[in-house]
Structure 1
Amino acid sequence: MNISNNAVVQFHYTLSDETGELESSTGSAPLLYMHGQEQMLPKLEAALEGKAAGDTLELTLAPADAYGEVQANAIQDIQVKYLHGAKKWRPGMKAWIQTEEGQRQVTVVKVGMFKAQIDVNHPLAGKTLTFKLEILNVREASSEEIAHGHAHGEGGHQH
């Protein structure tokens, strides 16, 4: 089966930038996504269209096609109590905050007793990224997955 809308794709990936490898799923469970549900970077999803199990893909994306350029005005003040992921905060640490659009990862710039300055740019903003993917399996989405708008892992519904 080839990747098309509502296909569930199982894959491994390696992500790198100009300085080297940033992360990889190799050695852990493969990832799943449902094609055509805007769950991937648009250019990456477009490059996967028509591929099949056993195919590999290497794609380099400029910042504008990945996580955007770094925005200088993306520094905000927030109360420390709204930072999630650690008990004690230091500049450079990654934190999670709850927004109206859901959870978002931010970088701590400066931290005081009660307030912190955070950078809300995506941690990969401004970077040219290379994705290497190995497609392990492609299958049709179940009616339940289509209704929910995302792929379910082994054992079915996991949320």
Structure 2
Amino acid sequence: MQTAKKGDKVKVHYHGKLTDGTTFDSSEGRSPLEFEVGSGQVIPGFDDGVTGLKVGEKRTVNIPADQAYGQASEEQIVEFPKSQFPPEMTPEVGMPLQMSNDQGQTFQVVIKEVKEDSVVLDANHPLAGKDLVFDIELVEILPGKSSIIMPE
């Protein structure tokens, strides 16, 4: 039976948890996640966890932060003047915001601290610095160009 390998398009169901058991994401009740193994579409540890699975096979993988979203970086924490916020907005700790950089790219930040004249924003990925646990089930390996069988 075929196993998932680099370059294969696959469909998987997954349940992502923190090491304390808290769920942060799951495909339950949704379509399976579809991606190409080894293409960088998912975190490296997830790619590794799918590699070698057969259709219908399940696996639990423990992914250290370095193979997931990396370590949290102090460089991603910035102080922003309150005067730059819309006047009708009241910044609160934990509030998610969309920001854009000089190139027009948008990214999410979370308010980490509210000071008298400024707000401390954290642009790290919410799962940065965290070890993750995924329960993965390989649902399907999609036919690729190399596996098309031509009629005789």
**TM beyond 0.5:** yes
Matched with 1:19 is: 20
TM-score by length of 1: 0.70
One-letter identity of the residue aligned with 2:47: E
Q: 1:52 and 1:80 mapped to 2: Cα distance?
A: 51
For 1:8-157, what aligned pairs fall within 5 Å after superposition?
8-20=9-21, 21-78=23-80, 79-80=84-85, 89-99=91-101, 100=103, 102-110=105-113, 116-141=119-144
Report the RMSD for the aligned CA atoms in angstroms.
Answer: 2.9
Indicate if the aligned counterparts of 1:77 and 1:115 stay in contact, CA closer than 8 A. Answer: yes
Q: 1:101 and 1:140 mapped to 2: Cα distance?
A: 38
The Cα offsets for residues 115-149 of structure 1, whole Å up to 9 and x where unpaired, read as 7431011101121110111111111346xxxxxxx
For structure 2, the 5+ residue unaligned runs are 146-152
Deviation at 1:24, TM superposition (A): 1.3
Q: 1:121 and 1:12 mapped to 2: Cα distance?
A: 26
TM-score by length of 2: 0.72
Deviation at 1:44, TM superposition (A): 2.1
- Aligned pair in 2 of structure 1 residues 43, 18: CA closer, same or farther (>3 Å)? closer
Aligned residues: 137
For structure 1, the 5+ residue unaligned runs are 82-86, 143-159
Moved more, 99-108 or 25-34: 99-108
The Cα offsets for residues 77-117 of structure 1, whole Å up to 9 and x where unpaired, read as 45447xxxxx76522123333455954332122458x9743
Indicate if the aligned counterparts of 2:60 and 2:134 stay in contact, CA closer than 8 A. Answer: yes
- Aligned pair in 2 of structure 1 residues 135, 102: CA closer, same or farther (>3 Å)? farther
Higher alpha-carbon Rg: 2
Q: 1:92 and 1:27 mapped to 2: Cα distance?
A: 28
- Aligned pair in 2 of structure 1 residues 62, 101: CA closer, same or farther (>3 Å)? farther
Partner SS for 2:74: coil
Q: 2:91 and 2:9 mapped to 1: Cα distance?
A: 39
